[in-house]
Amino acid sequence: MLAARSNKETLTQVGRALGQLGVEHIPAYSPEARGRSERMFGTLQKRLPQELRSQGITTMDEANRFIRDVFLPDHNARFVREPEDATSAFVDFAGTVEDILCVHEERVVSGDNTVRYKGLTLQVPANRHRHHFVKARVRVHEYPDGKLALFHGPRCIGRYDADGQQDGEEEKTLGEKAA
């Protein structure tokens, strides 16, 4: 089976999650990624065998020890550059990682105020903000433990166990932890 190439218009679940987290995804087949990795491979393939030979290293254990204790520290000391801006590039994250690192699937609510997902029928519960969600676009979140949630925009409008049964939690907006 061939792996599907990603693109910026049709994101994979990983691409969507990286985007939500503010991480730029540089695919391995892109010129930027290829250039960096090819330069590093070329450097290592040219320098490392010569270094091992000049040190008289003939066993895997000796080679691993040399790489760890001598080659990499020397290589890093010679080629690492100080950053232009020493401040951290990390930013505080608002929200819950659980609602990003899960499968998201978009659905349209049916005329009976339900959503179909993987053979399940999820009843949209009564809501204080709307009488119904018929024809509304919603997002199903499928968590690693099999539980499900329905979101309309940032608002969670229903939570379900892996069998599609409502779990009775109060509605939350994205970023609020469930009680």
Cα–Cα distance measured from residue 118 to residue 104, given in angstroms and rounded to the nearest whole number: 13
Cα-only R_g, the chain = 25
Q: Which helix (H) or strand (E) holds 155?
A: strand 155-160
Helix ranges (H only) for 28-119 are 31-54, 60-66, 72-79
pLDDT of residue 20: 81
Is the distance from CB of 10 to CB of 16 less than 8 angstroms?
no
pLDDT of residue 178: 46
pLDDT of residue 44: 81
Backbone phi, psi, residue 104, to 5°: -115, 130
pLDDT of residue 140: 97
- All residue ranges of the chain with pLDDT < 50 are 1-3, 177-179
